[in-house]
């Protein structure tokens, strides 16, 4: 009975599997850590298996791996130019990591790592730091020109520059909240309608069950789309850092 009335938010609870502390800092191995390790293992095993017996006429698994490689390669090249291809391994890893985490979270009794703002913000903050370092490494202090749009009258600069600076530093927030909010909202809806199915029983539960099936299909699309958007925004930010397009 307790499970029937369980809060939809209970699925997002972090649980310590192996409690650990280092000099007073909690570094416990949690359910979130576990599913991140599972995601890395699944990606590694899939790519190793797909490319272990490469053939001129690829099989199904090899075709999927090669299509994914070409898709992300084209995404990076189109969004960040040929110079951005040096970051292709990073973007490829980032896309697959988020995609697999999103899809794992759709399996019952698993955990959706990307539904936690601390995880998505940590990734977005790392990307923000990387992009900023790349910008200063390639352009030196000239990277600050990113905050001065071309063609803007001098008398507008005191207004435009603070706006540009704020929009730049708010990137990690907007980058992370989009992924976190979509994952949390979708999984909460599924849990709520799952409760309706159980509560209404065999006679009245068919309508919410049908909605759950349709909504689960939509959530698969959202899981893929959010991984793509996260990777695309990373490429756009890298493009700004490399080419100073503004």
31 pLDDT above the threshold of 60: yes
Q: Based on the number of CB atoms within 10 Å of its own CB, is 236 exposed (0-12), middle (13-18) or buried (19 or more)? A: middle
145 Cβ partners below 8 Å, 6+ apart?
139, 244
pLDDT band at 4 (very low <50, low <70, confident <90, very high): very low
Model confidence at 57: pLDDT above 60: yes
Q: How far apart are CA 192 and CA 188, in angstroms?
A: 6
Residue 235, pLDDT score: 95
**Which pLDDT belongs to residue 81?**
87
CA distance 47 to 95: 14
pLDDT, tens only, 82-139: 999 999 999 999 999 999 999 998 888 889 999 999 999 999 999 999 999 999 999 9
pLDDT value of residue 170? 94
Instruction: With both helix axes pointing from N to C terminus, report the angle between 31-52 and 88-104 in degrees, rounded to the nearest 10.
Output: 120
* Statement: residue 1 has pLDDT above 60: no
Q: What is the mean pLDDT of residues 66-84?
A: 93
pLDDT per position as a tens digit, 153-174: 888 888 888 999 999 999 999 9
pTM of the model: 0.87
Please report, for the chain, the start and end positions of each structural domain, with discontinuous segments joined by +.
Answer: 8-243
Residue range 226-235: average pLDDT?
96
Does the pLDDT of residue 212 top 90, yes or no?
Answer: no
Rounded Cα–Cα distance for residues 93 and 90 (Å): 5
């Amino acid at each position: 009975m307790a499970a029937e009335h369980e809060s939809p938010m209970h699925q997002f609870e972090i649980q310590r599997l192996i409690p650990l502390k280092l000099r007073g800092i909690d570094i416990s191995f949690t359910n979130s850590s576990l599913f991140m390790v599972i995601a890395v293992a699944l990606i590694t095993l899939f790519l190793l298996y797909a490319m272990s017996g490469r053939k001129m006429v690829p099989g199904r698994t090899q075709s999927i791996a090669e299509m994914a490689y070409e898709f992300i390669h084209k995404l990076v090249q189109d969004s960040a130019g040929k110079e951005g291809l040096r970051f292709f391994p990073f973007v490829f890893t980032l896309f697959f990591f988020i995609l697999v985490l999103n899809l794992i979270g759709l399996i019952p009794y698993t955990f959706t790592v990307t539904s936690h703002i601390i995880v998505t913000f940590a990734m977005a903050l790392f990307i923000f730091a990387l992009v900023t370092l790349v910008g200063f490494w390639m352009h030196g202090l000239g990277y600050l020109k990113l905050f001065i749009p071309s063609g803007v009258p001098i008398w507008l600069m005191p207004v435009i520059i603070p706006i540009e600076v704020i929009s730049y530093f708010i990137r990690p927030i907007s980058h992370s909240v989009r992924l976190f909010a979509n994952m949390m909202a979708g999984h909460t809806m599924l849990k709520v309608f799952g409760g309706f199915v159980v509560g209404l029983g065999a006679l009245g539960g068919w309508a919410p069950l049908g909605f759950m099936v349709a909504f689960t299909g939509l959530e698969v699309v959202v899981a893929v789309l959010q991984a793509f958007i996260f990777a695309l925004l990373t490429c756009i930010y890298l493009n700004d850092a490399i080419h100073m397009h503004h």
